[in-house]
């Protein structure tokens, strides 16, 4: 590990003033510090943001919630209003990592976490995301858990966050500050397409500090679910996950939102499946056909083809669950 400076800030403007050049914001450090140890991240300074006044969850005028960027994953998942109004979000966070990690991890850090592609974390391997132009070892290598949607020949990695999948389904918005002022980006556009710049992972300007994530008010979000399929019962990243909500009235789909995790470089909002279902009958066949419509665009590699039927089955199962009267 390279030597680095550490600085704790309590004011946003101090954070922004320090967060430039070789500096990195430090949340819980559960991802950043690991990557520093293996030499993938080599910041000159860590700007610890956990003492900024960004640790609250507050009501917004439209009946939504604004979640401060340094809120821990544990506090987010346990918050009574999050559990009541956005259950899939709480479920998604609890499905991630372990209790110890969630106690440390922050909302901002969770959104910004890097991929778990093993080649990315090993500086002796070719990886366009870590070292642009060096190639992608995963495409011809071990890619059992890599993307089937929206990848490019430059990079086939997935985004690992569970939380972000639920946020995508709820149309969340990411707010940030820069030295030039604040702005916001809808989560669905927060992670750009891979293209030939896999190293560019978010639309945040350089040095931007995420301050909060805003969940719009929603009458239907309380009827939502997150289901994560993984190789062991806990403490494993998703192979495929689904966050969804569904409102059915007299057998007809009145509102539906579906986002997939583990299949792409970003949380994958299943817009094609949603429009297929909207105002149509809420039947098992339709759920499956909707999933197939979405996955028609899937392009699996030789080693991860199972993710396509898995995603289809999972979408159909979660929607069927949500369609049951309650």
Site residues for ligand FAD per CB under 6 A: 24-32, 34, 49, 69, 73, 96-97, 101, 104-106, 108-110, 112-113, 160-163, 209-210, 237
166 binds ligand SF4 (CB under 6 A): no
Query: Which residues have a Cβ under 8 Å from the Cβ of 174 and sit 6 or more positions away?
Result: 111, 184, 185, 186, 187, 190, 210, 213
121 binds ligand SF4 (CB under 6 A): no
- Looking up tokens 């969770």 gives 110
Report DSSP state, residue 134: S
| CA angle (273, 81, 160) in 5-degree steps | 50
83 binds other proteins (CB under 8 A): no
- For the window 100-119, what string marks contact with ligand SF4 as x by the rule CB under 6 A? ---------------x-x-x
Least spacing, CB of residue 296 vs other proteins, in Å: 15
306 binds other proteins (CB under 8 A): yes
156 binds ligand SF4 (CB under 6 A): yes
316 binds, among other proteins, ligand SF4, ligand FAD, none (CB under 5 to 8 A by kind): other proteins
Q: How far apart are CA 120 and CA 107, in angstroms?
A: 22
282 binds, among ligand FAD, ligand SF4, other proteins, none (CB under 5 to 8 A by kind): none
2 binds, among ligand SF4, ligand FAD, other proteins, none (CB under 5 to 8 A by kind): other proteins
Please name every residue paired with 178 in a beta bridge, in sequence order, or none if there are none.
181
Q: How far apart are CA 105 and CA 100, in angstroms?
A: 9
Query: For the chain, first and last CA: distance in Å?
Result: 53
3-class DSSP state of 229: strand
24 binds, among ligand FAD, ligand SF4, other proteins, none (CB under 5 to 8 A by kind): ligand FAD
Nearer to other proteins by Cβ, of 132 and 309: the residue is 309
User: Across the chain, how many H-helices and E-strands are there?
Assistant: 13, 12
229 alpha-carbon distance from chain centroid: 15
Least spacing, CB of residue 61 vs ligand SF4, in Å: 40
3-class DSSP state of 152: strand
157 binds, among ligand FAD, ligand SF4, other proteins, none (CB under 5 to 8 A by kind): ligand SF4
Least spacing, CB of residue 205 vs other proteins, in Å: 31
Nearest Cα neighbor of 209 from 32, 48, 3 is 48
129 binds ligand SF4 (CB under 6 A): yes
Instruction: Tell me the two tokens of residue 323.
Output: 């369609």
Least spacing, CB of residue 119 vs ligand SF4, in Å: 4
Query: Which residues have a Cβ under 8 Å from the Cβ of 80 and sit 6 or more positions away?
Result: none
29 binds, among ligand SF4, ligand FAD, other proteins, none (CB under 5 to 8 A by kind): ligand FAD
Please name every residue paired with 269 in a beta bridge, in sequence order, or none if there are none.
259
Q: How far apart are CA 282 and CA 26, in angstroms?
A: 45
Residue 120 burial (CB count, 10 A): 24
160 binds ligand SF4 (CB under 6 A): no
Least spacing, CB of residue 87 vs other proteins, in Å: 20
124 binds other proteins (CB under 8 A): yes
Asked if 276 contacts 289 with a C-beta cutoff of 8 angstroms, the reply is yes
| Residue 216, CA distances (Å) to 93, 235, 318 in order | 18, 30, 23
The residue ranges that bind ligand SF4 (CB under 6 A) are 115, 117, 119-120, 127-129, 136-138, 155-157, 198
Query: Which residues of the shown chain bind other proteins in the complex (CB under 8 A)?
Result: 1-3, 39, 116, 118-119, 122-124, 137, 140-142, 144, 229-237, 239, 306, 309-310, 312-314, 316-317
């Amino acid at each position: 590990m390279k030597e680095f400076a550490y600085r704790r800030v309590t004011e946003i403007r101090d954070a922004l003033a320090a967060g430039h050049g070789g500096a990195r914001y430090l949340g819980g450090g559960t991802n950043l510090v690991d990557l520093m140890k293996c030499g993938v991240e080599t910041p000159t300074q860590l700007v610890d943001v956990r003492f900024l006044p960004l640790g609250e969850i507050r009501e917004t005028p439209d009946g939504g919630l604004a979640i401060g960027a340094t809120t821990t994953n544990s506090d987010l998942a346990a918050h009574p209003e999050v559990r009541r109004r956005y259950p899939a979000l709480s479920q998604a966070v609890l499905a991630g990592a372990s209790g110890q990690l969630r106690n440390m991890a922050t909302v901002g850090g969770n959104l910004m976490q890097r991929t778990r592609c093993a080649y990315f974390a090993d500086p002796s391997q070719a990886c366009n995301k870590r070292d642009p132009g060096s190639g992608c070892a995963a495409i011809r290598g071990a890619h059992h858990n890599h993307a089937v949607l929206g990848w490019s020949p430059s990079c086939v990695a997935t985004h690992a966050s569970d939380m972000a999948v639920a946020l995508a389904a709820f149309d969340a918005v990411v707010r940030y500050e820069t030295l030039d002022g604040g702005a916001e980006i809808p989560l669905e556009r927060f992670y750009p397409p891979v293209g030939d710049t896999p190293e560019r992972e978010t639309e945040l300007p350089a040095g931007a500090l995420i301050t909060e994530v805003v969940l719009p008010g929603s009458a239907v979000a309380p009827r939502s679910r997150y289901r994560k399929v993984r190789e062991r019962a806990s403490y494993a990243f998703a192979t495929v996950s689904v966050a969804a909500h569904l409102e059915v009235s007299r057998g007809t789909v009145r509102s539906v939102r579906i986002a997939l995790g583990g299949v792409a470089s970003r949380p994958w909002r299943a817009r094609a499946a949603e429009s297929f279902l909207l105002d149509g009958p809420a039947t098992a066949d339709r759920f499956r056909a909707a999933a197939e419509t979405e996955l028609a665009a899937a392009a699996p590699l030789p080693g991860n083809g199972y993710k396509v039927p898995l995603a289809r089955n999972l979408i159909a199962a979660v929607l069927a669950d949500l369609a049951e009267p309650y």
